[in-house]
Structure 1
Amino acid sequence: MTDERDGGRPWFKRRGVVWPSLAVLVLVLLLGCWLGFQAHTAKSNLEQARTSAQQSKNALLQGNTGDASRFAADAASHAQSAREAAHSLPWNLVAGVPWLGSPFKTGRQISDVVLNLATDVLKPIAAAGTTVAPNHLLADGRLDVTALRNEEPALRKIATDATRIDLEAQAIAAPDYLGAMDKARSQLQSQTKDLAKLLQNTALAARLAPSMLGADGPRSYFIGFQTNAEARGTGGLLGGFGVVRFDNGKPEVDTLAPNTDFYRKFTPISLGPEFDNQYGFTNPSSDFRNSNQSSHFPYAAQIWKSMAEQSGIDVDGVIALDPVALSYILGATGPVVMPDGETVTKDNAVELTESTAYIRYPKPQDQPARKKFLQDIAAEVVKKVSGHVKSPRALLDALGRAVSERRISVWSSFPEDQALLEQTPLAHIIPDDPAPYAEVVVNNLGGNKLDYYLDRQIEYVADGCHGDTRTSTVTVRLTNTVSDADSLPDYVAGRIGFLPIPSGYIPKGTMFTSVRLLATTGAKLINVMSNGVEVSAQTDTERSHPSFEVQTVILPGQTDEMVFHLSEPIVPGAARVPVQPLVGAVSTKVSVPQCTK
């Protein structure tokens, strides 16, 4: 189409159109180049900020506070540059465009969170590094509880800021396209969540540890060594015990003794009608062998404290640990050498204490010698930990791993300390809340040591979030891996427990096992299938959770599959499947939608 007034030239060749059009085109190209430059700047600086942040964390854990502060400052500088790029004019213009600007809006939010993380968390925690770095905090077996207490207000503020920043990170909008940006968002959210949790625990430890470790006067604790070759709710049978005394952060251990010292008449205590109804027939508060059938550690702790006090030992709390935890500790401290020259290492500690020792001392009359052997191992490990530790960080990491696997449990008779403990995995409690829950608790009914050979698989599956209730299934597979029962002593592979003798021939090496499922509050049992056959279950309640118990016999080399079909209320919260700290392998699978109702 032409216009005679403009010489018949097409519209795109007219002078009044060409120059404005070229100007707009050039402006768009310039904005595009500027935006590309800013995007590259933001990406580069965010990556450098992340690298510097990781270097700051590593330096802090190594006790190198100078490098930690320097890397934290680098992270803050790069984060500031990234934020400036993400708030530039072309970035803001594009971010305001529906759909097209979605990744840019996400990138702008990411840069804000990273800057806040660097300035409000990394730099302050690096400044506090002199106190919280393991090499400064733990020296020659003593924890500097005074310095930890002095730093507690600063650590609490940092933890509060980390929690606030994590909430900001979780609120970052997902981009409508550009997978790389969404991946960066997810990674940041995961990192801020982990860091907030870590700092919350650090602040909590700074508040709790000084009083528990003797900053205000000596504290004493009963130590229970659990033998999880014979399963109990909190892990394993109480195999031996001792007393540790803390004075201003320095531990001193005495009174190491075998469990035979508890073969005496105790005055029972009551832990309430619910506990008494479920466990009372086994005399748990007067027979140490049945004292920790419940997985709720405060129950066992109160019983052990009562037994200790009736034996003339006054304690302020209770600590429990198992041979696997000892192996982690030996990995950090190095091996110990026994008086006879035998070396106990991280690699042989579990097998030596939970298998070899029983073969070495196979007869009932040999058991005092076996218990003395295990007691000597515990004494050597304690001596190693309470002396000079080459790498405090490695020791704290080992203890942290044991705690995360519920292999170290702590209870305090001081209500204010116990309330704080129950905010941590150390308390090993059955939570009294309504969120989805499936805890499988195994107790050995045979009085043998066959749970060293027990493998477990646990699967918790539930329907969606529609309506008031949904169907759920908890599948438990227990495998008896014993391959040559005849080579095992009767003390290991026989049957001396209280389970009624089943009919028919029962070969040596057979497991007699109680399997208890603690389910979501308000859940109802539809049925239980054992290897495809419906079986009956004993129903109780423990700390608001319904409890369904079945008893099973597992032959050597066989697997028993128990399937609990349930109807459970639809409640908010992520599903939890706590794992009982036994020796053998365990795998868990959770397919439970998280509801918001």
Structure 2
Amino acid sequence: MTAPVLPPAARTAGRIFVIALGACLLAVIAIAGWIGVRGAEAYGHVRAVQDGTSDAIAALSADPAAASTTLEGLAAHAAAARDLTSDPIWRLGESVPWIGPQLSAFATVAAGLDAVLTEGLTPIARSAGGLSLDALKPVDGRIDPAPLATIAEPARAGADAVARSSARIHAIDTVPLAGVVADAVRDADAQFAEVATATDALARAAALLPGMLGQDGPRTYLVIVQNNAEWRSLGGIAGAGVLLHTEDGVLTLSGTLSSTDFPSGFPDPVAPLSDEIVALFDTKPARYIQNTTQIPDFAVGAPLAAEMVRSETGLTVDGVLAVDPVVLSYLLDATGPVTVPTGDVLTADNAVSLLLNEVYFRYDKPADQDAFFSAAAGAVFDALARGTASPGDLVSALGQAGAERRLLLWSADPDEQLILADTTLAGPLPTTNDQTAQFGVYLNEGGGSKMSYYTHPSVQLAWNTCAPSETVAARSLTLTLTLESTAPADAATSLPPYLTADGAFGTAPGDSDVVGNIYLPTGYELTESSLSTGGGFGGGMHDGRQVLTLGVVLAPGASATATVTVRAVTGADHAEALVTPTADADLATTVSAGCGALG
């Protein structure tokens, strides 16, 4: 049987189809090759930028003039990566199913890197000129505020440019991306966020520090040293403090204050508190200076402390800072040991134990304890003013203290406070958004003792259900707080009476009386709660946040656990718990959990 013979027209059409199909295949191969070659080349440029960014930021802090050359080199790599991933053929590839989202994500990262360098970091470095950290080192007790003032505007413009790029990277949908591409985008997102945080901090510092250093006139600040041996929500009681005077960059200590300088509670609140705050904390934060850090919002508590100082001394302060002995230990890492008037040598290793525990074995009278506290803080600040710390070490110490929410700042100037408002330095309430669900775990000593030094808190945070296919309403989070007393079994007799409070407030000597306030993420629904010691939770609301209140009394060696579960109402895939900073620098003050992971 012979094969049928196609008519000439059919044979011609067949040849044309084969030729057309071959041409299409060749075009696809050519496009794929074009994209592949340019993609590989662009990837090399992107890696060069990513590998060099951290060093460039470090150089920007240490020597902006030298950093300019490094940043310009990275900018050339970023521009090349952007050009390689933005031509018409690449854009055409972005419309192809599956491969398109991969190409689009890569192009967005490349464009973002280019913007970060050309619109953000490089202009900041150029404007900084010869400014370096050494320029901020005190000379004869003075820090020249002028260099910082000159970079304030370009630093803000650069930080805003970086923030815009960071937001574009964060907005990339990783669901359709291949695993390796999705991981790369997440890494880029984290790096962009890190750069955005660093540049924003520089911009805020450049805007704030000249005024705070007295460039426009003298200023006086109240520096509260929180005592973590007796917990308050933000760290510890405000038991001692110093007055810091600044004028044209010159820093001097103009006095010290002790809780004994104030009446045993003002008869009436020095300022009105909201009904919500009174329901949770009574009026004590507005009547006792020790309790001004009990409200977990420094912008509320700091003005109360300032008003108490004004009422008692007639002095109006321009702002309030709060630190704790852990911060002093960080600063001592930068300054080296200092000698206090008593002859004691304060070091980074002994500051916490000496100020928060040993002092109570040495001095019986609260006034003597506070005096030692104030003298120690004054000695550290005096060393800083004399310029004994290396600028790099000092910036590192302050950065760590700020990140741990151990360094807090409130300004009486509304414009300055606006700059501070959404930073960790402002000590704000936990804030939940579409990316992060944020709890607050705030601890207070309810027995008037210093037994918080012997109490160990542990916070864990975990997502229970959060697979991508599940709806937001199916997601839930569980926070677990465990409190354990590490006090010696014979604490009632072996510890000084002032340290145990000796039963003065109704708690047996040696026991730790803890009042906890757990702030739930804004809008999240409470589904379950339990307390291992039995009983339930009190609570209320605070600026739109539901608050659960618990109280436990721990005998030496005892422990208690509180568990709280909430249902999600946002698409956040990250959760955090802000925890009261304690005397233990190794305990995290922010506990985090990615969706499905234990933080």
State if a TM-score over 0.5 links the two structures.
yes
CA RMSD of aligned residues (A): 3.8
Q: Which moved more, 1:548-557 or 1:85-94?
A: 85-94
One-letter code aligned to 1:170: H
The whole-number CA distance in structure 2 between the counterparts of 1:246 and 1:469 is 54
* CA deviation after TM superposition for structure 1 residue 471, in Å: 6.9
Structure 1 residue aligned with 2:334: 332
Is 1:278 the counterpart of 2:279? The answer is yes
The whole-number CA distance in structure 2 between the counterparts of 1:399 and 1:536 is 40
Which residue among 477, 480, 502 is the counterpart of 1:475? 480
The whole-number CA distance in structure 2 between the counterparts of 1:2 and 1:102 is 52
Structure 2 residue aligned with 1:396: 395
* Mapping for residues 178-193 of structure 1, pairs under 5 Å: 178-193=178-193
* Mapping for residues 147-226 of structure 1, pairs under 5 Å: 147-172=147-172, 174=174, 176=176, 178-226=178-226
Preserved contact between residue 280 and residue 540 of structure 2 (Cα < 8 Å): no
* CA deviation after TM superposition for structure 1 residue 339, in Å: 4.9
Preserved contact between residue 115 and residue 165 of structure 2 (Cα < 8 Å): yes
The whole-number CA distance in structure 2 between the counterparts of 1:346 and 1:514 is 30
The whole-number CA distance in structure 2 between the counterparts of 1:429 and 1:29 is 56
Which residue among 344, 347, 350 is the counterpart of 2:349? 347
Number of aligned residue pairs: give it. Answer: 576
Preserved contact between residue 266 and residue 310 of structure 1 (Cα < 8 Å): no
* CA deviation after TM superposition for structure 1 residue 124, in Å: 0.8
* CA deviation after TM superposition for structure 1 residue 31, in Å: 6.4
One-letter code aligned to 1:492: L
Structure 2 residue aligned with 1:380: 379
Q: Which moved more, 1:52-61 or 1:336-345?
A: 336-345
* CA deviation after TM superposition for structure 1 residue 167, in Å: 2.5
The whole-number CA distance in structure 2 between the counterparts of 1:73 and 1:273 is 52
* CA deviation after TM superposition for structure 1 residue 43, in Å: 2.1
CA offset digits 1:369-416 (Å, max 9, x no partner): 443333322121011111114421221221121112111222222333
Q: Which moved more, 1:199-208 or 1:276-285?
A: 276-285
Structure 1 residue aligned with 2:104: 105
Is 1:441 the counterpart of 2:448? The answer is no
* CA deviation after TM superposition for structure 1 residue 229, in Å: 0.6
The whole-number CA distance in structure 1 between the counterparts of 2:301 and 2:312 is 16
Is 1:491 the counterpart of 2:498? The answer is yes
Shift of the 475–280 alpha-carbon distance from structure 1 to 2, 3 Å rule, reads closer
Which residue among 359, 362, 371 is the counterpart of 2:361? 359
CA offset digits 1:468-522 (Å, max 9, x no partner): 8987654321111223535432322354453x45xxxx5x521112122233456
- Percent of matched pairs sharing the same residue: 27
Structure 2 residue aligned with 1:258: 258
Shift of the 236–496 alpha-carbon distance from structure 1 to 2, 3 Å rule, reads farther
The whole-number CA distance in structure 1 between the counterparts of 2:405 and 2:164 is 28
One-letter code aligned to 2:450: K
Structure 2 residue aligned with 1:529: 530
Is 1:47 the counterpart of 2:52? The answer is no
The whole-number CA distance in structure 1 between the counterparts of 2:25 and 2:431 is 65
Preserved contact between residue 271 and residue 304 of structure 2 (Cα < 8 Å): no
How does the TM-score come out when normalised to structure 1?
0.84
The SS at the match of 1:556 is coil
Structure 2 residue aligned with 1:314: 316
Shift of the 423–284 alpha-carbon distance from structure 1 to 2, 3 Å rule, reads closer
Preserved contact between residue 472 and residue 571 of structure 2 (Cα < 8 Å): no
One-letter code aligned to 1:152: A
Preserved contact between residue 137 and residue 387 of structure 2 (Cα < 8 Å): no
One-letter code aligned to 1:408: L
The whole-number CA distance in structure 2 between the counterparts of 1:283 and 1:101 is 61
The whole-number CA distance in structure 2 between the counterparts of 1:2 and 1:104 is 52
* CA deviation after TM superposition for structure 1 residue 355, in Å: 1.9
Preserved contact between residue 316 and residue 412 of structure 1 (Cα < 8 Å): yes
The SS at the match of 2:236 is strand
CA offset digits 1:191-216 (Å, max 9, x no partner): 22222233233223333333333222
One-letter code aligned to 1:483: P
The whole-number CA distance in structure 2 between the counterparts of 1:29 and 1:467 is 42
Structure 2 residue aligned with 1:542: 542
Preserved contact between residue 525 and residue 569 of structure 2 (Cα < 8 Å): no
One-letter code aligned to 2:410: W
Preserved contact between residue 281 and residue 295 of structure 2 (Cα < 8 Å): no
One-letter code aligned to 2:351: A
The whole-number CA distance in structure 2 between the counterparts of 1:572 and 1:273 is 31
Preserved contact between residue 523 and residue 569 of structure 2 (Cα < 8 Å): no
Is 1:134 the counterpart of 2:120? The answer is no
Is 1:510 the counterpart of 2:517? The answer is no
Structure 1 residue aligned with 2:412: 413
Is 1:227 the counterpart of 2:234? The answer is no
One-letter code aligned to 2:135: H
Preserved contact between residue 575 and residue 594 of structure 2 (Cα < 8 Å): yes
Preserved contact between residue 212 and residue 417 of structure 1 (Cα < 8 Å): no
Unaligned runs of 5+ in 2: none
Unaligned runs of 5+ in 1: none
Q: Which moved more, 1:518-527 or 1:40-49?
A: 518-527
The whole-number CA distance in structure 2 between the counterparts of 1:86 and 1:467 is 35
Preserved contact between residue 94 and residue 101 of structure 2 (Cα < 8 Å): yes
* CA deviation after TM superposition for structure 1 residue 172, in Å: 3.9
Shift of the 576–216 alpha-carbon distance from structure 1 to 2, 3 Å rule, reads same
Q: Which moved more, 1:149-158 or 1:173-182?
A: 173-182
Preserved contact between residue 53 and residue 118 of structure 1 (Cα < 8 Å): no
One-letter code aligned to 2:233: G
* CA deviation after TM superposition for structure 1 residue 35, in Å: 4.9
* CA deviation after TM superposition for structure 1 residue 324, in Å: 0.6
Preserved contact between residue 576 and residue 591 of structure 2 (Cα < 8 Å): no
How does the TM-score come out when normalised to structure 2?
0.84
Shift of the 266–41 alpha-carbon distance from structure 1 to 2, 3 Å rule, reads same
The whole-number CA distance in structure 1 between the counterparts of 2:57 and 2:472 is 46
The SS at the match of 1:230 is coil
The SS at the match of 1:128 is helix
Preserved contact between residue 297 and residue 427 of structure 1 (Cα < 8 Å): yes
The SS at the match of 1:73 is helix
One-letter code aligned to 2:500: A
Structure 2 residue aligned with 1:578: 578
Preserved contact between residue 238 and residue 259 of structure 1 (Cα < 8 Å): yes
The whole-number CA distance in structure 2 between the counterparts of 1:393 and 1:469 is 47
Structure 2 residue aligned with 1:246: 246
One-letter code aligned to 1:489: P
* CA deviation after TM superposition for structure 1 residue 180, in Å: 3.5
The whole-number CA distance in structure 2 between the counterparts of 1:145 and 1:132 is 11
* CA deviation after TM superposition for structure 1 residue 83, in Å: 2.9
Shift of the 78–224 alpha-carbon distance from structure 1 to 2, 3 Å rule, reads same
* CA deviation after TM superposition for structure 1 residue 26, in Å: 8.2
